[in-house]
Amino acid sequence: MSNATNNNPRKVLITGANGQIGQVLAQNLRARYGTDNVITSDITKPKVTLGPFVFLDILNTMRLQEVITDHKITEVYHLAAILSASGEWNPIKTWNINLNGLLSILDLAKDTPLDKVFFPSTIAVFGTTTPRVDTPQDTALQPETVYGMSKTSGELWCNYYHNKFGVDVRSIRYPGIISHQSIPAGGTTDYAVEVFHEAIQHNKYECFLEKDTRLPMMYIDDAIRATIELMEAPAEKVKTRIGYNLSAMSFSPEELFTEIKKYIPELAVTYKPDFRQEIASSWTESIDDQRARDEWQWSHDYGLPEMVKVMTEEISKKYKA
């Protein structure tokens, strides 16, 4: 990734900025484009405010329009969403937030200075009819969660607004994201972050998935770099306007815990699968991301051993401090 340019006319809005990806993305974009050129937004106040923040409920279209026009926003990273596990508790609310929020933004992008949109999609767009191993870019999408349904439809709307109205919208199907900066909430892949906190504090963890459920995962630095590289790629390279498949590593809970035990040998794990097991079982286990590698030269840095090393170090530091 090249360095940020100084006279950058970009004005960025991040929705759902208090979440797992938003906090780290905001820091990175502010370092590249300047603190005041990146406005974070969410429905609750952030724990720490490191730059301009506005309250924004994504379903309040008037307020959304006000923020985008008043701040002369040119790019939106639309991260506000309810994730897979939480989504099952409130399907209609999840559909409204995940899909209608996106539609308002895409529609504003038709005729305001807003000219670029990032839409985070997910491995939750896949379902039991999708090939499980090396899942292709173009494949069966019959998700079984409301979250997956909303993201699949969202991808199609992105493609539609691009083809029909020329909106420069770009999207990634994120695998489970593993980060030390914040604890994810409401997802099915959350176990892979929770375990580090429990292992370092208490030497034990009760896992809500079965030990052999392999899922695609990615370390936060790779996810953030991919996002910025995709958004900064020349438009002609971005030939795919539904979500790009993106891959870094795949592992099962047991494989992850074995790697963590190299640093914390005392770690004792028990398994108590809950409703999230069914969600995980409906997803695929590894991803073919050749399209992203070919079109905008994506490549990952972190595999399982590298990720476990940095996560163990960073989370240990946090608790020592």
Q: Is residue 146 involved in binding ligand SER (CB under 6 A)?
A: no
Residues between 179 and 238 with contacts to ligand SER, criterion CB under 6 A = 187-189
With CB under 6 A as the contact rule, the residue among 124, 200, 207, 209 that binds ligand SER is 124
Find out whether 209 and 273 touch, Cβ atoms under 8 Å. yes
- The nearer residue to ligand SER, 40 or 188, going by C-beta atoms, is 188
Q: Closest separation between CB of residue 70 and ligand SER, Å?
A: 32
The CA distances from residue 274 to 207, 219, 261, 278, in Å, are: 9, 25, 24, 8
Query: What residues between 44 and 103 interact with ligand SER by CB under 6 A?
Result: 83-84
Backbone angles phi, psi at 272, to 5 degrees: -140, 80
Separation CA 293–CA 254 (nearest Å)? 29
| Other beta carbons within 10 Å of 104 | 19
Return the SS3 of 207.
strand
Helices (H) and strands (E) in the chain, counts: 12, 12
Of 39-47, 121-129, 243-251, 252-260, the window that binds ligand SER (rule: CB under 6 A) is: 121-129
Nearer to ligand SER, 154 or 187 (CB): 187
Task: Using the minimum distance from each CB to ligand SER, give the nearer residue, 147 or 298.
Answer: 147
Sorted by sequence, the CB contacts under 8 Å of residue 23 that are 6+ apart come out as: 17, 46, 181, 182
Examine residue 16 and tell whether it contacts ligand SER (CB under 6 A): no
Q: Which stretch binds ligand SER (CB under 6 A): 54-62, 107-115, 120-128, 133-141?
A: 120-128
Rounded to whole angstroms, the Cα distance separating 297 from 302 reads 16
Verify whether residue 147 is a known catalytic residue.
yes
Q: Considering 33, 77, 147, 244, which one is annotated as catalytic?
A: 147
Note the residues at the interface with ligand SER (CB under 6 A): 83-84, 122-124, 147, 174, 176, 187-189
Q: Residues with catalytic annotation? A: 147
